[in-house]
């Protein structure tokens, strides 16, 4: 995996915890399986662009911030 996906995996977990959400709650908000969120956080899989946009709206952050390009 590349730097962007590594940043995303770390950032999505940090944002979820900061917002006091479980993996299950995050998954339900996105109509995804809990295992899907877990795989993102473990840097084993990546969300679609549509899902990335939904995540940025849920956590009220830019996509750039989510993928760590402004770090």
- Residue 3's pLDDT is what? 86
Structural domains of the chain, ranges and CATH numbers in brackets: 3-66 (1.10.260.40)
**Looking at the whole model, is its pTM more than 0.85?**
yes
> Rounded to the nearest 5 degrees, what angle is found at the Cα of 63, between the Cα atoms of 18 and 12?
35
Secondary structure class of 29 (helix, strand, coil): helix
Give 9-66 pLDDT, tens digit per residue.
Answer: 999 999 999 999 999 999 999 999 999 999 999 999 999 999 999 999 999 999 999 9
Looking up tokens 């915890």, which residue turns up? 17
């Amino acid at each position: 995996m590349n730097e962007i996906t590594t940043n995303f995996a770390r950032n999505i977990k940090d944002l979820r915890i900061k917002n006091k959400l479980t993996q299950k709650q995050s998954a339900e908000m996105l109509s995804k399986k809990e295992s899907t969120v877990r795989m993102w956080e473990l840097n084993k899989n990546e969300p679609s662009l549509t899902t990335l946009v939904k995540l940025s709206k849920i956590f009220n952050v830019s996509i750039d911030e989510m993928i760590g390009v402004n770090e």
